[in-house]
Amino acid sequence: MVNVTVDPLTRIEGHLRLSTEVDANGVITDSQSSCLMFRGFERILQNQDPRDAALLVQRICGVCPTSHSLTAANALDDLFGVADTIPKDALVARNINQALNFLASHATHIYILWGPDLANPAYRDVLTPLGETGTAVWKEMVGRFAPISYKIDGESVPVGSSYLAAIPEKKRLQEAIAVIGGKMPHQVTSYPGGYTYKPNVADIGKLSSYYLQVMDFVSSYTLRVPFDTWIENTYKASSPQKAVNFVVEHLTDLVDKSVTSNDFSREAGWGDTEFYAAFGSELVGETLLGLPASLKHDKIGGYSDPSKIAFLAYGGFFNPENGDGYDPSSPAGERFLTSGIVTGSLEYQNLDTSKITESVAHAFYEDTADLHPSKGETNPFTDPDAIRFDQGSDSRYSWNKAPRYDGIPCEVGPLARMLAAKEPLVTGLALAFNENGYSAANVYTRMMARIQETAIIANELLKWVTEDYDPNGRIAVDTDLSMAKDSTGMGLWEAPRGALGHWVSTDSNSKVVNYQPVVPSTWNLSPRDSAGVPGPLEQSLIGAKINAAENSLGVNYTNPVNILHIGRSYDPCVSCAVHTIDLTGKNTPRTLRI
């Protein structure tokens, strides 16, 4: 038995430490997910004027501030009792703001935080011994996704073309948010009662122009089949089976054209999506090429016990068709991306938010019972000697709390959303994997869900900008500030990484008594709970072979590429997950002692 620890795992701010036990066959038998960072927004919010929450909470994270401000705005709409009157055009403006943040965040993950792992030399070691086809595939992987220029066997490899081209698109999308958000990160326009700025006709023109430029990138790099053809045959397919069939037939056509030339370039029709769809899955595409299952992303990152996992979505994006107002307590059916619980065996249930709890049994907080977030407590340990990350899974080992739904750990994020919304392609892939004895959730379905969600949101964004938003409409309602006395609010929303909830309560002076965010990465990266059940990421590591390259290199623990893939498939963000800061400065250095 060997311990293999990856620390830090994340390529964005906030360190995630994944520690695994690996047996003699290179299979992970145990795992721990530790969030090393100590922050504290729950405590910062105490005694504040609740109106400031939508601005303050954005500082939880620079990647998804829009999501935190909108979730806060939802909680405050509820707190002030105005949610049922928010004008439709304010809701559409919030949608546009959030949709742009989804596109920027997903593009960042796919190309900057995730893609570089496809240029890992482990793949060269597997692919290049396979002759011309294997070599051509490796050249394409490194040629698209390498994040730096480096030398392999004396040969210089330039920075990946897709990686490089994606960076200005992220910038463009951030600029687009600033058009209607004032600035980005930390936009300033989402506020209880509506939206503080009324986007005008010139803004709509600017947004449309940004949109067309980003779609140029999509058609050049991401998806070589026309975007509308893809949407029509996957997202709008009449059944999950038809959506999967379309993709498999499209990939089969491409393989037929490339199989003798070994040309897997964009010019030959292989967009980054087509490329990953074929090479990332043994079941969907890889066997088409006669290559052995060298990537196997559909075989890693799954769950072995469906009774210990569920998929959770609160629902995101308002349906403009519903007109003014929304029901903050019941997003079922009234959101563009619907809410719901999907069990580990893919059964659908309605969401009941009263079943949500957080456990701190394995986290560095003073013990409490498992509490609903509306009654949540955040009392961090202050003795630095108690903050240890190396004491095993029976101990406390993370700053992350452990959220549960009806006692069950839940995966949140694009895969959960696409399953809850019954999106045909992702549902079809999950069903196909299930039927063939794979886990429905795996690294491949997580990535395909993120890619598909990006396409769906891009498709809807244009409609929100050009059809649903009325620059002559109303943008806010008057808000009676006395309504925040002795009140409570719940904001349920979706951030790029998954279901995001904020719970707020106030006292008789209208000051915040308790503010509890429960964040997507809190769900996905959670440690064990009071019953000892591991969190989603912890479960998904167990049973994985540690290294995709082991058949050519032996078990190589110095490059545990499958741990990188599995951990990063959740798009983890620790600053969101823990959102706790130590203002005394006394504890910070010791938390990194591992």
Binding partner selected for residue 67 from ligand NFE, Mg ion, none, CB under the kind-specific 5 to 8 Å limit: ligand NFE
Q: Work out how close the CB of 72 gets to ligand NFE at its nearest, in angstroms, rounded to a whole number.
A: 11
Binding partner selected for residue 342 from ligand NFE, Mg ion, none, CB under the kind-specific 5 to 8 Å limit: none
Intra-chain end-to-end CA distance of the chain, in Å: 20
> Could you give the string, one character per residue 494-533, with x where binding to Mg ion holds by CB under 5 A and - elsewhere?
-----------------------x----------------
Q: Work out how close the CB of 453 gets to ligand NFE at its nearest, in angstroms, rounded to a whole number.
A: 12
Nearest to 194 by CA among 94, 322, 50, 321: 94
20 versus 398: smaller Cβ distance to Mg ion: 398
d(CA 126, CA 109): 25
d(CA 488, CA 512): 10
Residues that bind ligand NFE (CB under 6 A): 61, 63-64, 67-68, 105, 495-497, 500, 519-521, 573, 575-577
Binding partner selected for residue 502 from ligand NFE, Mg ion, none, CB under the kind-specific 5 to 8 Å limit: none
Q: Work out how close the CB of 185 gets to ligand NFE at its nearest, in angstroms, rounded to a whole number.
A: 10
- What is the sign, positive or negative, of the torsion defined by CA atoms of 424, 430, 434, 435? positive
Vertex 107: Cα angle to 156 and 475 (nearest 5):
155
Binding partner selected for residue 497 from ligand NFE, Mg ion, none, CB under the kind-specific 5 to 8 Å limit: ligand NFE
Buried (b) or exposed (e) across 245-259, using 16+ Cβ within 10 A?
ebbbebbeebbeebe
Binding footprint of Mg ion, residue count (CB under 5 A): 1
d(CA 239, CA 422): 10
Q: Work out how close the CB of 199 gets to Mg ion at its nearest, in angstroms, rounded to a whole number.
A: 32
Longest dimension (CA), the chain: 75
160 versus 517: smaller Cβ distance to Mg ion: 517
Q: Work out how close the CB of 515 gets to ligand NFE at its nearest, in angstroms, rounded to a whole number.
A: 14
61 versus 119: smaller Cβ distance to ligand NFE: 61
496 versus 560: smaller Cβ distance to ligand NFE: 496
Vertex 569: Cα angle to 533 and 3 (nearest 5):
55
The Cβ-side half-sphere exposure at 451, using a 13 Å CA radius, reads 27
Q: Work out how close the CB of 14 gets to ligand NFE at its nearest, in angstroms, rounded to a whole number.
A: 7
Binding partner selected for residue 573 from ligand NFE, Mg ion, none, CB under the kind-specific 5 to 8 Å limit: ligand NFE
Binding partner selected for residue 64 from ligand NFE, Mg ion, none, CB under the kind-specific 5 to 8 Å limit: ligand NFE
18 versus 247: smaller Cβ distance to ligand NFE: 18
Binding partner selected for residue 445 from ligand NFE, Mg ion, none, CB under the kind-specific 5 to 8 Å limit: none
Q: Work out how close the CB of 110 gets to Mg ion at its nearest, in angstroms, rounded to a whole number.
A: 27
14 versus 517: smaller Cβ distance to Mg ion: 517
d(CA 429, CA 445): 7
d(CA 366, CA 7): 26
3-state SS string for 51-82: HHHHHHHHHHCCCCHHHHHHHHHHHHHHHCCC
Q: Work out how close the CB of 15 gets to ligand NFE at its nearest, in angstroms, rounded to a whole number.
A: 13
Q: Are strands 155-157 and 340-343 parallel, antiparallel or unpaired?
A: unpaired
d(CA 68, CA 76): 12
425 versus 500: smaller Cβ distance to ligand NFE: 500
66 versus 222: smaller Cβ distance to ligand NFE: 66
Interface with Mg ion (CB under 5 A): 517
